Every structure is written in structure tokens, then in C-alpha cells.
Amino acid sequence: MESLTKQRNEQIPAKTDVGQVPKKSKGLRGTLLVLTAFIACPCHLPITLALIGGTTFGLFLTENLLWIVPILGVYFVWALYKGLKIIS
């Protein structure tokens, strides 16, 4: 019985790293956050609207600018902060 318990303990790792993210993946995640921050930047909104002007999403953005610009601004600041923090 003791040897069976010993074999089970050897097969099961003592500590699993479920929440650990590989370093390469962290850099990619940080880079993606910074890139989406620059796309969502409110000062780039006229360029974004020109590029997606004929689409349904472009119409939605144009019709709801008063509440989309502050949301994009908050996302821009948050994503830029988190992305740069992850990268560095």
C-alpha cells in the first residue's frame, strides 16, 4: 500500500503553474494591447472612420460619437498603461 501511495505522489506534480504565462506570451499580449490602444486612440478616430466609413460598424461609430469617444479614451489610457507595463 505504501509503494502505491509513493508512486501516485511521484506522478502528480507538487505545484502546478496554471496561472503562469510564458514570458514570450506576455510580450505578445503587451504588444497587442499597445497596438489596440493606438487604434482606439480618439485622435485616430477620423482615420478609422474614413477607413470603415461604408460599413455598418462605421455608421454605428458615426451615430454614437458622443459616448464612444470617452469610452475609447479610457480604453486607450488603460491599454497603453497595461501594455507598456507588461512589455517592460
How many residues are recorded in the chain? 88
Helices 65-87 and 23-40: crossing angle, nearest 10°? 150
pLDDT top residue among 23 and 8: 23
Residues above pLDDT 90, as percent of the chain:
38
The full DSSP string for 15-64 is S--SS---HHHHHHHHHHHHHHHHHH-GGGHHHHHHHTTTSHHHHHHHHT
**What tens digit of pLDDT does each residue of 16-44 get?**
555 666 666 778 899 999 999 998 888 88
pLDDT of residue 13: 54
Q: Is the pLDDT of residue 60 over 60?
A: yes
Q: Which residue has the cell 509503494?
A: 3
In this prediction the pTM is: 0.65
* Mean pLDDT of all residues in 49-67: 88
Listed residue (47, 39, 48, 29) closest to 75, CA to CA: 39
